[in-house]
A = this chain, B = another copy of it.
């Protein structure tokens, strides 16, 4: 039994909390763990860490590694997709890796952004699904609807499977319905929410992909041939660029003849949009979910998230307010699915507010842009203990560093020296330099950049602890 966690989504409907390079699965939406940490913890008693695979992409892999290491997940396997190819691509890529490791592997496919209230019921359903999957079925978990939800897909159950309670063949998959239709499904015992949690043998899903998505299957075979070779990364990049981007539901499940659904009552929710919070976070007496420095004057059934600034809310009903350091969302709950349209518009504007937060996390620590003006930029930097940035140089900017906490060890040109708190140094344009925290406590400093061009891409790296030097093409 192997776990496959799909963690490549960009969570656009959760903007501005979620950003393309730091999406919702990396955030603590409820409780003390991030969504991806919760996802791994939830299966850890059932599946060994070394049997778990996380499918993600180069933008997120670094942070996911950091977060899962905290759970002792250093034995985890990572699969990095060069581009997003929807669930069929991600699942296919995981399946060929799994089949290579274990020809009889049964894979449990999980999303990194689900909420499950009853873990025991979840485990029970998974084990049941595994038994069915071993016989060659593609099994999906179906949750009993608790409301006429229009943001979820549904599954209509067929005949009961022999020798297994709560398991049925699948009559059909149903796309997100209109409200009226959703109410009918709620009343019908044979219609379940499609949770997107799947259990099947790696060889079986690959056979079905071969049958219904031959183009994808051909690409996956080419990738498979390169696994473990020197050219694996490069081949993956080239082949992936040509693959179709289709969901496993549409590409395979809606056509396959070997489906089964296991009915469960585990309190499942997809934390897809801001509205999902209403189902997973308890509200106050007026139905509000409020976090941060919020002054609430008579609001009802509203969600207000204040990251740093004070937020005053007056007389709101059924509204979501999310106020972050560089972007604010105000949305009627009835239109929560349309938040992704804001993100689409932002992309067209060519800015970065859809892509990154004001604070950007790196291996070595993080930086926050405090201010940008004509010819200058002010950043706050935090360097983890015993960490350092790359040895680098900028063609078009000089930098002033003022240490405000801890002690910096800096290299500027040929000199190496220490800067204690409340001291500063200057890095002229075009001079090699490096910033290091050689102590056991965090280092914080304020950086003032001067220059005509201050883009993050004006950087030449000479040495790097994190493998970020440009690759030499042989």
Which residues of A come within 8 Å of B, CB atoms? Answer: 15-16, 295, 297-298, 304, 306, 309-317, 319, 321, 323, 326-332, 334-336, 338-339, 341-342, 345-346, 351, 353, 368, 370-371, 373-376, 378, 380, 398, 400, 402, 404-405, 421-422, 424, 426, 444, 446, 448, 450
Q: What B residues does A309 contact at CB under 8 A? A: 326-328
> Given A297-B335, A370-B371, are A310 and B346 also a contact pair (CB < 8 Å)?
yes
Q: How many copies does the complex hold?
A: 2
- Cβ–Cβ contact A312 & B331, under 8 A: yes
Task: Specify the chain B residue showing the minimal Cβ separation from A425.
Answer: B424
- Cβ–Cβ contact A311 & B335, under 8 A: no
- Cβ–Cβ contact A404 & B448, under 8 A: yes
- Cβ–Cβ contact A370 & B370, under 8 A: yes
- Cβ–Cβ contact B297 & A312, under 8 A: no
29 A-B residue pairings within 8 Å (CB atoms): A295-B345, A309-B326, A309-B327, A310-B346, A310-B353, A311-B327, A312-B328, A312-B345, A313-B331, A314-B330, A314-B332, A314-B341, A315-B331, A315-B334, A315-B335, A317-B332, A321-B328, A323-B323, A328-B328, A370-B370, A370-B371, A371-B380, A373-B405, A376-B444, A400-B400, A400-B424, A402-B448, A404-B450, A424-B426
| 4 additional contacts (CB under 8 A) given A319-B330, A370-B371 | A297-B345, A314-B329, A321-B328, A373-B405
Task: Specify the chain B residue showing the minimal Cβ separation from A274.
Answer: B314
Q: How far is the CA of A295 from the CA of B15 in the complex (A)?
A: 13
Task: Specify the chain B residue showing the minimal Cβ separation from A370.
Answer: B370
Task: Specify the chain B residue showing the minimal Cβ separation from A332.
Answer: B315
- Cβ–Cβ contact A405 & B374, under 8 A: yes
Task: Specify the chain B residue showing the minimal Cβ separation from A336.
Answer: B314
- Cβ–Cβ contact B422 & A450, under 8 A: yes
Q: What B residues does A335 contact at CB under 8 A? A: 297-298, 314-315
A339 partner, pick from B314, B327, B422, B450, beta carbons under 8 A: B314
Q: What B residues does A295 contact at CB under 8 A? A: 342, 345-346
| CB-CB nearest 5 A-B residue pairs | A315-B335, A312-B342, A315-B332, A376-B404, A314-B331
- Cβ–Cβ contact B426 & A405, under 8 A: no
- Cβ–Cβ contact B378 & A370, under 8 A: yes
Q: What B residues does A304 contact at CB under 8 A? A: 330
Q: What B residues does A400 contact at CB under 8 A? A: 400, 402, 424
Q: What B residues does A346 contact at CB under 8 A? A: 295, 310, 312
Q: What B residues does A375 contact at CB under 8 A? A: 404-405, 421
Most buried by B among A312, A327, A351: A312
